[in-house]
Amino acid sequence: MKKNEIHFYYYSGTGNTLLVVREMAQTFEESGLKVTLYRIETTDPAAVRTNATIGLAFPVAFQSTFPFLWNFFRNLPVGRGTEIFMVDTMAAFSGAIVGPLKKILQKKGTTVLGQRKSACPTTGFPGKSMPVKMRKKEKRGWRRHENMPLT
Q: What is the CATH number of the domain that holds 45?
A: 3.40.50.360
Q: Does residue 106 sit within a domain?
A: yes
Per-residue pLDDT at 64: 62
Return the closest-CA partner of residue 109 out of 88, 78, 137.
78
User: How much of the chain exceeds pLDDT 90, in percent?
Assistant: 34
Q: Does residue 135 sit within a domain?
A: yes
Between CA 81 and CA 119 the distance in angstroms is: 30
- pLDDT tens digits, one per residue of 66-102: 678 889 989 998 778 899 998 888 665 556 677 788 8
Amino acid identity, position 49: R
Q: Does residue 62 sit within a domain?
A: yes
Range of the domain at 61: 5-143
Region of 38 please: left (phi>0), alpha (psi -120 to 50) or beta: beta
Domain count across the chain: 1
Task: Assess contact for 79 and 62: CB atoms under 8 A.
Answer: no
Q: Does residue 149 sit within a domain?
A: no
Q: Does residue 109 sit within a domain?
A: yes
Q: Does residue 151 sit within a domain?
A: no
Per DSSP, the three-state class of 73 is: helix
Per-residue pLDDT at 149: 47
Q: Does residue 138 sit within a domain?
A: yes
Between CA 86 and CA 110 the distance in angstroms is: 12
Q: Which residues of the chain have pLDDT under 50?
A: 145-151
Taking each helix axis as running N to C, give the angle between helix 98-107 and helix 67-74, from 0 to 180 degrees, rounded to the nearest 10.
Answer: 30
Q: Does residue 13 sit within a domain?
A: yes
